[in-house]
Structure 1
Amino acid sequence: MTGSIVLIHAVRSSRTMWTGQTRRLRRRGFQVIAPDLPGHGLRRAEPFTLESALATIEEAVAACDEPPVLVGLSLGGYLTLHWASRNPDRLEAVVAADCTIVPGPATARLYGLWISMKDWLPGDSDARVERAFARRHSRKAARRYYGGGRAHGVVRTVVRTISSLDLLADVATIDVPLTFLNGEHDPFRRHEALFLEAARDGELVILDDAGHIANLSRPKRFAKVLRRVATGERIPQPLSP
């Protein structure tokens, strides 16, 4: 059991995407730390590097009163798995959300190039992107996802960095309970069986009717999973609302 939780956000978002979980968990008495990664939020002027991202997680974990549950979503999930694999005995548990796909180098390069080109298209304004996100989720979700501003120019570096990691090897070395938490409709579920097979002590939790950014699709249920992991409970399937 632990009373500390660290939350690591997705690409181009910031710590504001965790507003719903932070509020609910703090009401339950948890210490919650949700930093901005380099190149994002209040740190958008900084370059994103793997070293600086891992240092951000290190600082957040070191600030906890006790070994925390380390939680990451998408980019944050990949970073969480990599940091946890290099820091045994520092954590109570790990939750990796919406990150169970192994991105090959060629796919990563193409994706990074496509997103980078979109960033510079005249019609791809921050306001238009936020409206599109709101249509897929909700206005509240869009405000939270882009509440710290929309990070520009980081995607190519991020995908190149993540594609250079041996993620399944990272998973295999993690020696604390590991929960893979995916939205039902998340396209990043493609290799979830491989991740689960690689884990020493792993479980897979699916949030019904949730997409890639599952904490914004189903904020209450996502927070419930984090609370149960922190208290050492196994998660029932299907997860009750």
Structure 2
Amino acid sequence: MVEDGSIPTVFVHGIRVSGSMWGPVAALVDGRTAAPDLPGHGARYTERFTTQGAVEAIVAAIDEVGGRAVMVGHSLGGFLAIATAGRHPERVAALVAGGCTIRPRGPFLSAYRLMARFAASSPAVADQLSARGFRRALPVPIAEAMIAGGVRCAVMPEVVAAISELDPIADLRRYPGPVLLFNGARDPFRADERRFLAAAPNARLALVPRRGHISIMAETTVLAGLVTTAAASAVPAP
């Protein structure tokens, strides 16, 4: 991207995929961008996944683009973007998080644990099924971006264990900057979005009609617009 003084953006990917998933959206966003692979994913698939390691990877990406950035994440990436904002608020100029407005507890967590165990029991098969699912749910260029960095279902149990220890609502309370939450209107991960909104002092919600948890990634122009809106609302660095 051409550097024009815009606030940089760091994109955080979802479970089992990689930073490549954000390529089509990043291409529409002004300024410097970064989309790191998290431990256990993409080029770092041999590493163990932990929340601390993931946040460290995100902070390193922020440092690479200048030390302060708009933070954007979806699904697992949304949970981790919120965690990073709560732990390092001075580095996050604005927060954009989607597909993650559900507390990682109860039936949601139990279902994800079951899915993770199944995926890890036959990771090669699960990788193929995931890639096939992305291709069915998304236009070809978006689906190919989702899987370009590799699909790594073997990491899922570690990710689910780490997510179970997160408290995104507490993290939102610790972050004083602007927050833009987004969800597909048909996304089941919307269950607690009102609680998330109430936790953040400067939060807004954007709903994308007719989109679900994965299919929202097809809305590249809409997502890029949300990033631009968030950047415009960012509080200047002290």
TM-score between both structures, scaled by the size of structure 1: 0.88
**Residues 17-53 of structure 1: per-residue CA shift (max 9 Å, x gap):** 011112111xx3x110110001001111111111110
Residue 138 of structure 1 and its aligned partner are, at CA, apart by: 2.5
Q: Secondary structure at the match of 2:100?
A: coil
Q: Does the alignment pair 1:13 with 2:17?
A: yes
Instruction: Measure how far apart 1:70 and its partner are.
Output: 0.7
Secondary structure of 1:24's partner? coil
Count of aligned residue pairs for this structure pair: 230
Which runs of 5 or more structure 2 residues have no equivalent in the other structure? Answer: none
1:157, CA displacement in angstroms?
Answer: 1.4
Unaligned 5+ runs, structure 1: 234-241
Alpha-carbon shift at residue 149 of structure 1 (Å)? 0.8
State the partner residue of 1:163. Answer: 164
> Which amino acid in structure 2 is aligned with residue 12 of structure 1?
R
Contact preservation (8 Å) 2:120, 2:157: no
Structure 1 residues 125, 107: closer, same or farther in 2, change over 3 A?
A: closer
1:22 maps onto 2:26 in alignment: yes
Seq. identity, %: 33
- Separation of aligned partners in 1, 2:67 and 2:116: 39
Q: Tell me, yes or no, if structure 1 residue 69 matches structure 2 residue 73.
A: no
- Structure 1 residue runs of 4 or more that deviate by more than 4 Å after TM superposition: none
Displacement of 1:145: 1.1
Q: Take 1:73 and 1:148, find their aligned partners in 2: how far apart are those partners?
A: 16
Partner of 1:184: 185
1:174 is matched with 175
1: CA distance, partners of 2:171 / 2:130: 33
Structure 1 residue 66 displacement after superposition: 5.7
Q: Do the aligned partners of residues 33 and 212 (structure 1) sit closer, same or farther apart at CA in structure 2, a change above 3 Å counting?
A: same
RMSD: 2.1
- 1:134-153 superposed matches below 5 A: 134-153=135-154
Counterpart-to-counterpart distance in 2, 1:196 and 1:214: 23
